[in-house]
Structure 1
Amino acid sequence: MIEKITLHDSFAARQRIAGRIRTTPLVSSPSLSALVSADVSLKLEQTQITGSFKLRGATNAILSLSPEQKEAGVVGVSTGNHGRGLAYAAANAGVPCIICMSELVPQNKIDGIRSHGAEVRIVGRSQDDAQAEVDRLVADGRVMLPPFDHRDIIAGQSTVAHEILEQALDLDTVLVPVSGGGLISGVAMVMKVVKPSIRVIGISMERGAAMHDCQRAGKPIFVEELPTLADSLGGGIGLNNTYTFGMVRDLVDDLILVTEEEIAEAIRHAYWQERQVIEGSGSVGIAALLAGKIKNSGHCVSLITGQNIDMALHKRLIDGENVDAAANTSRD
């Protein structure tokens, strides 16, 4: 029987990673509040040290390893942000690290991982292809730290929920970008224990929304990975998913999809109205708000998960380039 991840695990993770990650700001958004006639705030997790929330889970997982595991080194598969967080946390702990990625990952995210001293291996055209190389390295003795379906990763990601609860009074709704579900599982677990009335809504892109499609199917299934402006939300949830499928099913109130056009508009809105540079995956909550897809939100916090966008792509979007063209080149 799989042991549940609990509030105790979340508190332990918060204590473990204290001083190694940033407490990120929560800011009010007058522009979004006026547009949707609700009180909207943004949790700026893109200001985390490595540019995304992923550092929380990676740091907790690295610090939870045994001395023998640290000596053996770690390996992970990533669409970018997990790899960067894992590379940074491993380097700080003196742990060897290899990150396996598909050809669909943008070059800026590959460069960011390498800048922290990790080895990067590019394998195939999907997360599943990259995972095959991870499995080979694990057979050779490395310790795999996956991007989402892992107790210590989920507990680490859940620590952002404590900050939100401390920063946002009378919270009603939280919007969380969803890929494999590690972040939303941790956030929902904390929110539903502390204040069950808080709605936790997951947001994904229409192109390759793995968790959404798996929940509709009632089980983990293969979902084709497609080019998208929200590239960090790409990849499947794993056919042998242990934690996140069930946690999302049991704890998350709704899953909503946004289009590429809506993502592009959210990136532009963040830049011009919020003075924030954010990647497509981090913008999906704003996209859902702008598109009128969040009803009766009350006091709403949209979690902005990352800033690691290719700046050439960002400029093209801000300048109004065709969205489909931008999406299809965002991983070159």
Structure 2
Amino acid sequence: MSGRPTIEDVQAARERLSGIARVTPVFTSETLSRLAGRPVVLKAENLQRTGAFKIRGAYNTIAQLSEEERAAGVVSASAGNHGQAVAWAAREAGIPATIVVPEAAPMAKVEAARGYGARVELAGEGFDEAAAVAEGLVAERGATFVHPFEDARVIAGQGTLGLELAEQLPAGPGTVVIPVGGGGLASGVAIALDALRPELRLVGVQAAACAPLAGRAPEGATIADGIAVKHPGALTASILDELLDDIVVVDDEEISEAIVLLLERSKLVAEGAGAAPVAAVLAGRVGGDGPACAVVAGGNVDATTLNSVVRYGLTVSGRHLVVALLIPDRPGELAHIVSLIAAQRANVLAIQHHREGRNIGVLETEAELTLETRDEEHSQLLIRELADAGFTVRRLR
């Protein structure tokens, strides 16, 4: 397939994916609806095979290869999810696959691709550098390059998610919020919804550190590594320019809070890119009337990153409070502090004493406490109570 895919191409992809890609659920979140001030529904694509939507486009592409192309194998470049999907699809087709990933790609995604039988090579700092290495391997081996987004077959496959949304979302106006990196998913969904549900708005979301469609130059790393693409494709950009209603930006702090909320209240594990649409809805940036459907596009986050994000999200929301108190260095002072904290129903997670290397008097010590609190209001109450008791309180985070 060449050129721009059509709704017929998307429907044909659905036939190829029958029995392969799961029809992932859509459900309403009461908590998110309350926080957003409008009905919020989640498209749980993180429950898809290989943990993300990418299996749709990868399988649709590989299923259309000729026998000669299959014999030469496939090569791809990916920050993780696309690589896993290509590895899985290639294994199912019985053909060799090599995946080139950035050196800083999450190890959970790298090991998953290897687990599906692909050869994985680490190269470059980001997708663009990895793609250049992958294209060199294609020229060397005569293999087929399965692009993550700039391929009509990939776009058509991703568009099958849009066919599901067209059937799953209630009749009437609404807004579909979708993460945008290279633009393959958003392009495919846009083609499907434009044909079948034109009353629905489609809003793309990018991470603040890498938001080229929003006119921002790359600023550095982001926890939404799955959409950290510096240069969207020409094909996807042309589709999105015509069919995307808006593009908005969220920062890592907002994404972290969304990950924590999805984990705690919706029982969904989402990676940064997958949580970005939820973050945009909660920030009130997507506009439109009717329900907002956030596409949770992927859930492949490694445990180390998830631990860091959860801790950060709890701190940002005021549920982890870290304070330093200057106190007299004498018996009973720490017990007094702990009793004040207990009276306010907070939990002490850790305590450290500092007597050296700081602006501390001879008969003083600094106690650094990490506390578990209910929310920001509770944190502020604790700080006031400690200050009213005569302690010098310095909030660290």
| Match in the other structure for 1:317 | 309
Does the 8 Å CA contact 2:177/2:286 hold for their aligned counterparts? no
| Match in the other structure for 2:371 | none
| Match in the other structure for 1:76 | 76
| Match in the other structure for 1:277 | 269
Measure, in 2, the Cα distance between the counterparts of 1:10 and 1:186.
8
Answer yes or no: is 1:227 the counterpart of 2:221. yes
| Match in the other structure for 2:151 | 150
| Match in the other structure for 2:239 | 247
> What is the deviation of 1:293?
1.4
Measure, in 2, the Cα distance between the counterparts of 1:101 and 1:42.
29
Measure, in 2, the Cα distance between the counterparts of 1:11 and 1:296.
28
| Match in the other structure for 1:293 | 285
> What is the deviation of 1:137?
1.2
> What is the deviation of 1:195?
2.3
> Among 190, 195, 205, which residue is 2:197 paired with?
195
Answer yes or no: is 1:307 the counterpart of 2:299. yes
Measure, in 1, the Cα distance between the counterparts of 2:85 and 2:224.
18
> What is the deviation of 1:199?
0.5
Does the 8 Å CA contact 1:180/1:211 hold for their aligned counterparts? no
Does the 8 Å CA contact 1:84/1:112 hold for their aligned counterparts? yes
**Secondary structure at 2:79 match in 1:** coil
**Structure 1 304/12 Cα, relative in aligned 2: closer, same or farther at 3 Å?**
same
Q: Deviations over 1:221-265 (max 9, x none)?
A: xx5473111011112335xx3410100101000000001110011
Q: Deviations over 1:80-129 (max 9, x none)?
A: 00000010000000011000111121111111111101011111212222
> What is the deviation of 1:79?
0.6
**Structure 1 72/132 Cα, relative in aligned 2: closer, same or farther at 3 Å?**
same
Partner amino acid for 1:229? Answer: I
**Secondary structure at 1:269 match in 2:** helix
Across the aligned residues of Structure 1 and Structure 2, the Cα RMSD in angstroms comes to 1.6
Unmatched segments (≥5 aa) in structure 1 = 217-222, 324-332
Does the 8 Å CA contact 1:266/1:287 hold for their aligned counterparts? yes
Answer yes or no: is 1:260 the counterpart of 2:252. yes
> What is the deviation of 1:288?
0.8
Q: Deviations over 1:147-198 (max 9, x none)?
A: 0010100000000111111111125110000000000000011111112221
Does the 8 Å CA contact 1:98/1:119 hold for their aligned counterparts? yes
**Secondary structure at 1:50 match in 2:** helix
**Secondary structure at 1:105 match in 2:** coil
| Match in the other structure for 2:47 | 47
Answer yes or no: is 1:161 the counterpart of 2:162. yes
Measure, in 1, the Cα distance between the counterparts of 2:127 and 2:218.
10
| Match in the other structure for 1:62 | 62
> What is the deviation of 1:319?
2.6
Moved more, 74-83 or 168-177: 168-177
Percentage of pairs with the same residue:
38
Measure, in 1, the Cα distance between the counterparts of 2:152 and 2:97.
19
Measure, in 2, the Cα distance between the counterparts of 1:260 and 1:193.
34
> What is the deviation of 1:62?
0.6
**Structure 1 64/211 Cα, relative in aligned 2: closer, same or farther at 3 Å?**
farther
**Secondary structure at 1:319 match in 2:** helix
Does the 8 Å CA contact 1:45/1:305 hold for their aligned counterparts? yes
| Match in the other structure for 1:97 | 97
Measure, in 2, the Cα distance between the counterparts of 1:271 and 1:92.
31
Measure, in 1, the Cα distance between the counterparts of 2:49 and 2:103.
25
Measure, in 1, the Cα distance between the counterparts of 2:91 and 2:57.
15
Measure, in 1, the Cα distance between the counterparts of 2:23 and 2:287.
29
Partner amino acid for 1:236? Answer: K
Partner amino acid for 2:186? Answer: I
Partner amino acid for 1:204? Answer: Q
Partner amino acid for 2:51? Answer: G
> What is the deviation of 1:135?
1.5
Measure, in 1, the Cα distance between the counterparts of 2:14 and 2:72.
25
More strand by share: 2
Does the 8 Å CA contact 1:226/1:234 hold for their aligned counterparts? no
> What is the deviation of 1:16?
0.9
Q: TM-score, normalised by structure 1?
A: 0.90
**Secondary structure at 1:243 match in 2:** helix
| Match in the other structure for 2:123 | 123
Does the 8 Å CA contact 2:255/2:272 hold for their aligned counterparts? yes
Does the 8 Å CA contact 1:225/1:236 hold for their aligned counterparts? no
Unmatched segments (≥5 aa) in structure 2 = 317-397
Partner amino acid for 1:192? Answer: D
Measure, in 2, the Cα distance between the counterparts of 1:160 and 1:232.
18
Matches within 5 A, 1:168-183: 168-170=169-171, 171-183=173-185
Partner amino acid for 2:227? Answer: L
Measure, in 1, the Cα distance between the counterparts of 2:22 and 2:206.
25
Does the 8 Å CA contact 2:36/2:283 hold for their aligned counterparts? no
Instruction: State how many pairs are aligned.
Output: 312
Q: TM-score, normalised by structure 2?
A: 0.76
